[in-house]
Amino acid sequence: MDDKVKKSQLARLGRIEGQVRGVARMIEEDRYCIDVLTQIRAVRAALDRVEQETLSDHLQHCVAHAFHAGDERDRQTKIDELLEVLDNRRR
């Protein structure tokens, strides 16, 4: 993973960690369900952004490298890995 992307991802994940702790606190405090649900959706959206950025980095570096410098088996492995991850994402 690119160092700039890695730093960005770690910072974003740190904020998400804080959001999750906030959701737990809201539940402990018996906050209004819609407020809790709103925060849960915000956490999911933030995780989606981490996923998209990680996928983009993977495509631009790992997959691109496999297609330019790898052999047929390496290319097929990268394709299979992506298909599996994307299939699991839809579930």
Token pair for 56: 């983009």
Give me the pLDDT at residue 62, please.
87
In this predicted structure, the answer to whether residue 91 has a pLDDT above a threshold of 80 is no
Q: Give the 3-state secondary structure of residue 90.
A: helix
Residues 6 or more apart whose CB falls under 8 angstroms from that of 19 comprise 39, 42, 43, 46
Across residues 45-65, what is the average pLDDT? Answer: 92
Give me the pLDDT at residue 67, please.
86
Q: Is 3-90 a CATH 3.30.200.210 domain? A: no
Convert the pLDDT of each residue in 14-49 to its tens digit: 999 999 999 999 999 999 999 999 999 999 999 999
Give me the pLDDT at residue 56, please.
92
Give the C-alpha separation, 79 to 55, whole Å.
Answer: 13
Enumerate the domain spans of the chain.
3-90
